[in-house]
Amino acid sequence: YVLPKDPVTPFLNDYFHWFDKWFPLFGVLSVAIFSFYLLICGVKGCFKFGLRFLFFQVHPMKLNKTYMSSFLFNIGLVLLCALPVVQFSAVSFQDYARNTTISQVVNVQLKYLRFFGWFWRSKIFDYALLIIMLLTCVYLGCKPRDSTGKNSVSLRDRLRSR
């Protein structure tokens, strides 16, 4: 719906409009559930990134063993994921959220800013999201399981010995 110039089908927007005709609160709840699902996928990706970055663990999240710096790093990644989720939701559901404040901000004001306007009109953010998704699929296809953590323990021991 977002990448082609003329959308193939506005399925989700029609779905939300159908819920609004039936009972308006269910349309809003459906958008919230879809957006929350995207954010949860981002959180899962942040934890995967924290657990395995190239060949070692950077900031793992383990029950009762997480350092405060690791926790803050992962929270920062989650906060970095929140803005793209809001932008992607506002662009994807722009037919449903036509006269809302977020639609006004993302689909009108940010689109016509002097610097960022070219990025929005060229759909650079959408293509970047697609490329990152494809690279992640390739990486997880090559290395589907997490390591046991022995590399991070040996790295920690080597760093402490200095």
For residue 2, name the pLDDT band (cuts at 50, 70, 90).
low
State how far the alpha carbon of 113 is from the alpha carbons of 108, 122, 159, in Å.
9, 13, 46
Stated pTM of the model: 0.69
Reported as a single tens digit per residue, the pLDDT across 28-61 is 888 889 889 988 988 887 777 666 666 666 766 7
pLDDT exceeds cutoff 70 at 148: no
